[in-house]
Structure 1
Amino acid sequence: MRRLRMGMIGGGPGSFIGPVHRIAAELDREIELVAGAFSSDPQRSRRAGMDYRIDPARAYTDVAAMLDGERAREDGIDFVAIVTPNHHHLPAARAALAAGLPVMSDKPATATYEEALELARLVRASGLPYGLTHTYSGYPLVREARARVVAGALGKVRKVVVEYPQGWLAGAASGKQAEWRVDPARSGEGGCIGDIGTHAFQLAEFITGLKVTELFADLGVVGAGRVLDDDCSVLLRFDNGARGVLLASQIEVGELNGLRIRVYGDKGGLRWRQERPNTLAIDTIDGRTEIVHASGAGLGPDARARTRTPPGHPEGYLEAFANLYRDFAAILRGEAAPLLPGIDTGVRGMAFIATAVAASRNGSGWVKLDI
């Protein structure tokens, strides 16, 4: 079975997420990065090609050149990975789909909700696979948490608390990674709510299997001179009547990447933290606590299938990312991978961002998430 050939859009020199996509895609040796339009600057694209150690002739000057060049090759790319700032996601995906190529995109799906609706129409019309790298849904114990909630281990879900604190934008927004995230022309309509709040939103819906139907948002702009939110508090109501709280911030000094979630039902609760991803706590109403370990006994089949090392050998962010690429490879080979986030997840994420931004700006109180 040959490896699937990946072409990358974005991920040039100085990119954080480009190398992450490359490592994750290649970890299980099912996929190989062979081409890319890594930067709109031809010299930077060539330099990225050298860094990724691909054929220099396949480090293209722009997306159109890559799609044309790869179409002419017998060993051309099988799909495209989009790892650009948000405002490039729709045009890159549109071009790839028009060329008959499946798409794996970094999140959020697009820069605006209207763009997400357009992308959804394009994906459905093409009939091609589309995946979205909501990384945290690739962690084995997140898959285990979902399986247990869906199986009724917690009973009826009553309360969801999801937090995503960071502190890296507590000061001035300097450097390539910070600058585009605080620029509405490149980031889109949401700042923190789009960058990490959408991760928290997706994780809450993914683990519980529930849908948010209403929200009450208070998005703050703390950093001097900024126009996009960098501190967010959102109350949630779910379709089964459960209530929730979503907190996301990038100005909390001392916080690193503290994504954590708690889910409470009428029979029990669970707790998981991204910075300690290899343990999951399951609490029962009679006072017992089960600590579930990655690779440990008692894991369900999905979690077991997505662990690579024995108990006590930590797996983390890159392996979780690789699980999403393993799912995408399975889809491209005609197999099933129902838990891979796709275009529907992307549209819901953009609807959440747009609704929260508008509700906070207008002081609207509780508003429906209509999708």
Structure 2
Amino acid sequence: MTEIRMGMVGGGEGAFIGAIHRIAASLDGQIKLVCGAFSSDAEKSRRSGAGLHLPPGRVYSDYREMMQAEARLPAGERMHFVAIVTPNHLHFPVAEAALRAGFHVLSDKPATLSLQEALRLREIVNSTGLLYGLTYTYTGYPMVKEARLRIAAGQLGNVRKVVVEYPQGWLARAEEDGDNKQAAWRLDPAQAGISCCMGDIGVHAANLAEYVTGLKISSLCADLTAFVPGRKLDDDGSMLLRFDNGAKGVLMASQISTGEENAIRLRVYGDKGGLDWQQHEPNTLWLRWSDRPTEMLRTAAPYLSALTLSNTRTPGGHPEGYLEAFANIYVAFAGQVRAREDGVAPDDRSADCPGIEDAVRGMAFIELAVAASDSEQKWHSFPGY
């Protein structure tokens, strides 16, 4: 099996998400980190690369230098793809530079700073023919995949109601006024874009709802708020949703829900049954019926689908958590890269990876949510791109 070589932009010392990406990428032994531009500060990038035991010649002072230098290396040495783990405002320029240099891209979400950039990015991806992936992490959980397959098989019947929530409490106070860099850039419009809460976690909730149900949000009504005085971007939001099959939904995302810890939860109700999954108990998927007892499905059980089991690493009763879900996105994307290298079609597991259309749809959701909240009009139709 060909080892896939990865470069990274961002994620240097002191960064949170870069370490998560590196752990996820390395978990299955299929991907090797070979180079990086880990910070806009050249010395910080050098220290970060040294700490990761990379050769000094493969640690770059900025992403432009990295793309040019890697493209000059022999095909058997250069990176196959770049992982982008910077604040949002750099996602598009780094992805554009990588794609134009001939490298595939796997980016943290949201894909870009704006919808306009996302549309330009899609044009570049399509014109280069290269691969693009996005880390909508929660779609990587085994039982989320099982939920998607059960709904697709018609077990819940016609979906009528979707309830998705993502409460956090870490921004309940003015964390950005101190030395919390994660809070500071997420609440800075120049780096985060037009939304904090919806751009950071609300888009995850919307993507999870669409991924599991197989439906698309057709219109929404939104109410976004910046509760902490002085904030320029939202820290809380509530929405009513309409889906393309006529189903109705509710989405709540909040970063000021004091005491909550990434408590993402999805409930879906059809005319035959319902299901319930939440990240605090990720190994369990509940199926609810009106004519028989509630069922509890568990990760790694033999009655699960082949796709679910292929995304499961541990025996039953051992938690399949956030890092493993993240790693499933990386393994799927690496499978796409390997299939491209071998000139074959990707298998089902590799094909199940968020891509450029998810990227555009996510940015459209964020911009529509903000526009709807600013408007006195009740319902706003989801744009078709």
Question: If the length of structure 1 is used for normalisation, what is the TM-score?
Answer: 0.99
CA distance in structure 2 between the aligned counterparts of 1:324 and 1:54, rounded to whole angstroms: 24
Partner Cα separation in structure 1 for residue 116 and residue 81 of structure 2: 25
Alignment match of 1:233 (pick from 225, 233, 238): 238
Between 22-31 and 332-341, the greater mean CA deviation after superposition: 332-341
Shift of 1:316: 0.3
* 1:222-301 matched pairs, under 5 angstroms: 222-301=227-306
Distance 2:23 2:78 in 1: 20
Q: What residue in structure 2 maps to residue 164 of structure 1?
A: 166
Kindly report which structure 2 residues correspond to 1:39-54, keeping only aligned pairs within 5 A, or say none: 39-54=39-54
**Is 1:357 aligned to residue 370 of structure 2?**
yes
Tell me the distance in 1 between the aligned counterparts of 2:107 and 2:329. Answer: 11
Q: Take 1:256 and 1:169, find their aligned partners in 2: how far apart are those partners?
A: 11
* Counterpart contact for 2:172–2:258, Cα < 8 Å: yes
**Corresponding position of 1:341:** 354
Return the alpha-carbon distance in structure 1 between the equivalents of residues 226 and 252 of structure 2. 14
Return the alpha-carbon distance in structure 2 between the equivalents of residues 243 and 92 of structure 1.
38
Q: 1:84-99 alignment to 2 at 5 Å?
A: 84-99=86-101
List gaps (5 residues or longer) in structure 2.
340-345
Q: Does 2:201 correspond to 1:201?
A: no
* Distance in 2 (alpha carbons) for counterparts of 1:314 and 1:370: 39
Mapped to 2, the partners of 1:86 and 1:181 lie a distance apart of 8
Cα distance between partner residues in 1 of 2:30 and 2:373 = 44
Q: Which residue of 2 aligns with 1:12?
A: 12
CA distance in 1 between partners of 2:290 and 2:156 (Å):
9
Cα deviation code 1:205-229 (max 9, x no counterpart): 0000000000000001101110101
CA deviations over 1:223-271 (Å, ceiling 9, x no partner): 1110101000011000000000000000010101100000000000000
Aligned to 1:161, the other structure's residue is in SS state: strand
Which of 309, 312, 317 aligns to 1:312? It is 317
TM score, norm. by length of structure 2: 0.95
Report the equivalent of 2:194.
189
Aligned to 1:322: 327
For residue 162 of structure 1, what is the amino acid of its counterpart?
V
**Partner residue, 1:136:** 138
Q: Give the deviation of 1:39 after TM superposition.
A: 0.5
Q: 2:84 aligns with which of 62, 71, 82?
A: 82
CA contact (8 A) 2:220 2:380 kept: yes
What is the CA–CA distance in structure 2 between the aligned matches of 1:200 and 1:297, rounded to whole Å?
29
> Cα deviation per residue 1:163-215 (whole Å; 9 max; x = unaligned)?
00000000112311110000000001111001000000000000000000000
Residues 160 and 270, structure 2, Cα contact 8 Å, conserved in 1: yes
The residue type equivalent to 1:200 in the other structure is A
Q: CA RMSD in A?
A: 0.9
Cα distance in 1 for residues equivalent to 2:232 and 2:183: 14
2:36 maps to a residue whose letter is: G
The answer on whether the counterparts of 1:173 and 1:182 sit within 8 Å (CA) in structure 2 is no
Q: Is the 8 A contact 2:4 2:338 kept in 1?
A: no
* 1:73 matched to 2:73: yes
Q: Which residue of 2 aligns with 1:215?
A: 220
3-state SS, counterpart of residue 8 of structure 1: strand
- In structure 2, the residue matched to 1:61 is 61
Give the number of equivalent residue pairs: 371
Deviations 1:273-332 (A, max 9, x none): 011101010111214111011101310111000001110111100000110111001111
- Structure 1 contact 12–48 (Cα < 8 Å) conserved: yes
**Inter-partner Cα distance in structure 2 for 1:234 and 1:339:** 28
Deviations 1:103-156 (A, max 9, x none): 000001111111111111111111101000000000000000000000011000
Letter in structure 1 aligned against 2:185: W
Give distance in 2, aligned partners of 1:199 and 1:306.
Answer: 20
Residue in structure 2 matched with residue 21 of structure 1 by the alignment: 21
* 3-state SS, counterpart of residue 65 of structure 1: helix
Contact 1:215 1:237 survives alignment (8 Å): yes
Q: 1:108 is matched with which residue?
A: 110
What SS does the corresponding residue of 2:276 show, helix, strand or coil? strand
1:295 maps to amino acid: A
Gaps of 5+ in 1: none
The one-letter amino acid paired with 1:25 is A
Amino acid at match of 1:342: G
